[in-house]
Structure 1
Amino acid sequence: MEFWLKEIGPLKKDVNTRMTRIETDRAFVDMATYFLDLSTL
C-alpha cells in the first residue's frame, strides 16, 4: 500500500499540473480570440 502511495502521488500531481496547463492555454486562446473580435469590429 505504501508503495502505491509513493508511485501514484507524483503521477497524480503531474496529471493535475498538465490539466491545469491545458485549461490555462485554452483560456488564453479564448481571451486572444475575444480581443481579435473586438479589434475587427
Structure 2
Amino acid sequence: MVPTSLSEMNGPQPEIRYGIIASGNTLIKDAATRDKLV
C-alpha cells in the first residue's frame, strides 16, 4: 500500500469562476450582436 493524502483521494478541488452567464436556445453567430446582449 502507498499512503496518499486526502486531497489526492478526493480528486480535483472545486473552483469559483466569475463572469457573465447567459442562457438561450438560439446560436448567435454575429459577435457584435452577441456582445450587445451582455
**TM-score grouping bracket, smaller chain normalisation:** under 0.3
Which structure has the highest helix share of the two?
1
Compare CA radii of gyration and give the structure with the larger one.
2
TM-score by length of 1: 0.26
Greater relative contact order (Cα < 8 A, sep 6+): 2
TM-score by length of 2: 0.26
